[in-house]
Amino acid sequence: MRVDDILVEAARPLWRHKLRSLLSVLSIVMGVASVIALMTLMQAASQGVGRRLDALGANLVAVTVNPLAASTGGTPTLTLPQALSLAKIPGVAGVAPAAYAAIPAERAGREAPVTVYATWPTFTRIMGYHVAIGRNLSMRDESASAALVVLGSAAAQALFPHDGHPIGRTVVIGGEPYRVTGVLAPKGSLFGVNEDAVAILPLTTYQRAADNGSVTSVYVQAQNPARIRPLMRELADKLGQWLGPQNQYTVVAQSLVLGVVHRISRLLTDILAGVASISIVVGGLGILNVHLMAVAERIREIGVRKSVGARRCDILVQFLAEAVLIAGIGGVIGTGLGVALSQAIGQRLGLSVVVNLRIVEDALVISLLLGVAVGLYPALRAAALAPVEALTFDR
Amino acid sequence: MVGREDVRGAEVTVQSLSRIYPHPCRTVALQEITLTVRPGEWLAIVGPSGSGKTTLANILGLMDRPSSGRYWLDGRDVTALSDRERALVRNRLLGFVYQSFHLIPTLTARENVELPLVYRGVPRRRRRELAEAWLCRLGLEGRLHHRPFELSGGQQQRVALARALIGSPRLLLADEPTGNLDEENARDMRRLFSELRDQGQTIILITHDWALAQSADRIARLEAGRLVGDMAGRTGYAR
Ligand SMILES: Nc1ncnc2c1ncn2[C@@H]1O[C@H](COP(=O)(O)OP(=O)(O)OP(=O)(O)O)[C@@H](O)[C@H]1O
Ligand SMILES: [Mg+2]
């Protein structure tokens, strides 16, 4: 049999039984589309986490004195010289000593919940903030204990809702007035913490106001993200010398936390892909049933074809081609639909969706293999029929 | 049927051919059949219902295998051929016409006629030309694109005959070709078979139709699976 004849013979029954073919094609379309959409969306989501990781600074290590341990009194907290000495550890690119408190910022009867960081000017760079308007704090502000503040974008929005230019205006934090010198660009939220609801003050200014010379955190920038684990160990050793038992402090690398999130989202992708694959398998079983019926209906036709010289392989190829054609058409339409769906849903969820050609390729290959898998058994049965028996078969 | 080149008919020889159906109960459908049909000869096989005529035709058409005995087609032993080789012989050397036509209902008349050439790998255009030529010769020029259910019984049988002949078979087998036809169509069939024989086609025809059998060169009679009579037909030839 010639290839063009095989295709014509495969397409003919599809055209004849339009509804049946449509349903078969649809079940493949659904399976393939859902796999592609799920895979693409999950990939977009986990890439989002990955990008966030880079934006945060893959090389940030936060050293924090355990606030409960600190408040039980016995152990002294970190001092500024101790915090600054961490910068001398090899592999450290910079440090920002900080104290923080969750106290509201107020202005003209408005109140904004903010996290107050009292810290050095290096803080913004280490944390990956960018100053949108005005200027960052400087070391001169620090040494002068200037009453200045840099607001996160959400804090600025809450305190100056109708006024686009808060620079030079005054806000009240913990009962003290501070003049706004800068507003940060939005950064987004991470793990539900809004990183734009912040107010950044000079460390000395805050320490004087709070009458407390201690430092609760040190934000450390590593030179090399790949060397973050040994660096964390060294930091922990130092803190252990100063503060004693382990539960007095924590050393956290944001990249490692995000890495776990990243892995979890990858695992989720795999689970969802498995679920979607089941829908493909279910569709395949439906088509298997349709093919078995189609063969049963056409036993006499098979007998006629054999009587005029069709070989076993001719019959096999004819029925197999029919199944592969259905699966192929379903695969192509399903791929298109899956891509369209993932774009549409991605847009609604605010994910930037890039369609991965590997996923498309895999979906097409899988749907063709499925066609072979479900077509093979009915086709083999059709081909194996003895000529006379097929010809005289009585339904 | 003008314009057909002379056909080289096959010689058919069977020796001690038996066919036993084991199911549902053991039935000896053919018993020790020995028979020779000369090239270009038209043999009619008659016999009562259940005497084994169809069984014999199916074995001669390589659609079924005998339980024992040998079968030579043009001197070549085809008894033990593989399924694949048998399909090839059916495709190249044999043409088959049945009582119930056995056309494929989803194909048009022309597509049905083309079928043997599809399995011979003949290009589409050439196939169409040949199929149309055959259908025209059999008076079906206006019915090329009709499906079987849109044709009368006589027309369907002529489509089936065109399908049997398109591959220039060496042996034409017909199992009750007029069984479902009225008197007029049966007479047409008879005329067609006579023309084919005149062109040198070897024909083995199974029939209840005495008039049709009498047009053959030779008439063999089957009874309970045995060959009981072998006599001359209208041409007067007998072994
Ligand atoms: N597939 C089969 N399985 C079992 N027995 C069969 C089968 N086909 C035919 N027979 C038996 O073999 C015998 C011969 O049958 P066959 O069909 O060859 O007769 P026939 O001469 O063609 O009859 P008719 O003139 O009615 O067509 C019958 O007894 C029949 O019952
Ligand atoms: Mg019969």
> For position A252, what pLDDT does the model report?
82
Q: Which residue of B has its CA nearest to A14?
A: B106
- Phi, psi (5° rounding) for residue B33? -80, 125
Q: Which of A192-206, B71-85, B221-235 has the highest mean pLDDT?
A: B71-85
CA A202 – CA A218 distance, rounded (Å):
14
Which residue CA neighbors atom 30 of ligand 1 most closely?
B50
Distances (CA, A) of A93 to A121, A228, A231, A238, B109: 14, 12, 11, 17, 86
> For position B237, what pLDDT does the model report?
47
Query: Can you tell me which atom of ligand 1 is nearest the CA of B99?
Result: 27
| Confidence grade of residue B181 (pLDDT, cut at 50, 70, 90) | confident
Q: Is residue A252 one of the residues assigned to a domain?
A: no
Same domain for A270 and A383, yes or no, is: yes
Contact B186, B212 (CB under 8 A): yes
Q: What is the pLDDT of residues A297-306, one digit of tens each?
A: 899 999 999 9
Q: What is the pLDDT of residues A56-77, one digit of tens each?
A: 666 788 888 876 655 555 555 7
CB-CB: which of B92, B106, B163 is closest to A12?
A: B106
Q: Is residue A235 one of the residues assigned to a domain?
A: no
Number of domains composing chain A: 2
CA B183 – CA A336 distance, rounded (Å):
61
Q: How far is B96 from chain A (nearest CA, A)?
A: 8
Mean pLDDT in chain A?
84
CA B57 – CA A96 distance, rounded (Å):
100
**Per-residue exposure over A184-209, b if at least 16 CB sit within 10 Å of its own CB, e if not:** bebbeebeeebbbbbbbbbbbbbbeb
> For position A282, what pLDDT does the model report?
83
Q: How far is A10 from chain B (nearest CA, A)?
A: 13
CB-CB: which of B58, B104, B119 is closest to A388?
A: B58
The answer to whether residue B60 scores a pLDDT higher than 50 is yes
The answer to whether residue B49 scores a pLDDT higher than 60 is yes
Bridge partner residues of A194 (DSSP)? A189
CB–CB contact A304 B102 (8 Å): yes
Instruction: Give DSSP secondary structure letters for A14-53.
Output: HHHSHHHHHHHHHHHHHHHHHHHHHHHHHHHHHHHHHHHH
Which residue CA neighbors atom 31 of ligand 1 most closely?
B50
Q: Is residue A227 one of the residues assigned to a domain?
A: no
Q: Is residue A84 one of the residues assigned to a domain?
A: no
Same domain for A127 and A187, yes or no, is: yes
Mutational test site, ligand 1, from B18, B23, B26, B27, max ligand atoms within 8 Å of CB: B27
Q: Is residue A249 one of the residues assigned to a domain?
A: no
Q: Give the total residue count for chain B.
A: 239
Same domain for A35 and A146, yes or no, is: no
CB-CB: which of A303, A309, A391 is closest to B116?
A: A309
Q: What is the pLDDT of residues A86-105, one digit of tens each?
A: 888 888 888 999 988 888 88
Which residue CA neighbors atom 19 of ligand 1 most closely?
B50
CB–CB contact A301 B83 (8 Å): no
Mean pLDDT to the nearest integer, B3-21: 86
Same domain for A217 and A265, yes or no, is: no
Same domain for A161 and A42, yes or no, is: no
Q: How far is B119 from chain A (nearest CA, A)?
A: 5
- Give the strand pairing for A249-253 and A60-65: antiparallel
Mean pLDDT to the nearest integer, A229-242: 85
Which residues in chain B have their CB less than 8 angstroms from residue A10's CB?
A: none
CA A200 – CA A130 distance, rounded (Å):
13
> For position A58, what pLDDT does the model report?
64
CA of A265 to the centre of ligand 1 (A): 69
CA B134 – CA B127 distance, rounded (Å):
11
Same domain for A381 and A291, yes or no, is: yes
CB–CB contact B106 A304 (8 Å): no
Q: Is residue A289 one of the residues assigned to a domain?
A: yes
Q: What is the pLDDT of residues B191-216, one digit of tens each?
A: 999 999 999 999 999 998 888 899 99
CA of A300 to the centre of ligand 2 (A): 17
Q: What angle do CA A258, A263, A268 make, to 5 degrees?
A: 125
Mean pLDDT to the nearest integer, A23-51: 83
The parent domain of residue A143 ranges over: 93-221
Same domain for A152 and A214, yes or no, is: yes
The answer to whether residue A216 scores a pLDDT higher than 70 is yes
Same domain for A193 and A308, yes or no, is: no
* Non-local CB neighbours of B28 within 8 Å, separated by 6+ positions: B18, B19, B20, B225
CA B226 – CA A262 distance, rounded (Å):
84
Q: How far is B210 from chain A (nearest CA, A)?
A: 25
Q: Is the CB of B55 under 6 A from ligand 1?
A: yes
Which residues in chain A have their CB less than 8 angstroms from residue B96's CB?
A: 307-308
* Non-local CB neighbours of B99 within 8 Å, separated by 6+ positions: B175, B176, B177, B179, B180
| N-terminal to C-terminal alpha carbon distance within chain A | 28
CA of A275 to the centre of ligand 1 (A): 55
Mutational test site, ligand 1, from B20, B53, B209, max ligand atoms within 8 Å of CB: B53
A265 or A207, higher pLDDT: A207
CB–CB contact A1 B119 (8 Å): yes
A365 or A227, higher pLDDT: A365
Mean pLDDT to the nearest integer, B153-182: 93
CB-CB: which of B96, B121, B167 is closest to A1?
A: B121
Q: Is the CB of B179 under 6 A from ligand 1?
A: no
Same domain for A303 and A386, yes or no, is: yes
| E strand or H helix that includes residue B30 | strand B27-37
Distance of CA A27 to the CA centre of its chain: 29
Mutational test site, ligand 1, from B21, B173, B207, B226, max ligand atoms within 8 Å of CB: B21
CA A144 – CA A137 distance, rounded (Å):
11
> For position A69, what pLDDT does the model report?
59
> For position B239, what pLDDT does the model report?
40
Same domain for A217 and A268, yes or no, is: no
Q: Is residue A194 one of the residues assigned to a domain?
A: yes
> For position A164, what pLDDT does the model report?
65
CA B40 – CA A237 distance, rounded (Å):
107
Mean pLDDT to the nearest integer, B85-113: 95
Give the domain-ending residue among A200, A221, A242: A221
Contact B120, A305 (CB under 8 A): no
Which domains, from first to last, does chain B contain?
12-103+169-232 (3.40.50.300)
| Confidence grade of residue A210 (pLDDT, cut at 50, 70, 90) | confident
The answer to whether residue A220 scores a pLDDT higher than 80 is yes
On the CB side of A39, CA atoms within 13 Å amount to 23
Mean pLDDT to the nearest integer, A115-131: 89
> For position A231, what pLDDT does the model report?
87
Give the domain-ending residue among A221, A245, A269: A221
> For position A73, what pLDDT does the model report?
54
| Confidence grade of residue A214 (pLDDT, cut at 50, 70, 90) | confident
B237 or B111, higher pLDDT: B111
Same domain for A196 and A116, yes or no, is: yes
Tally Cβ neighbours within 10 Å of residue A226: 10
Same domain for A97 and A217, yes or no, is: yes
Which residue CA neighbors atom 8 of ligand 1 most closely?
B55
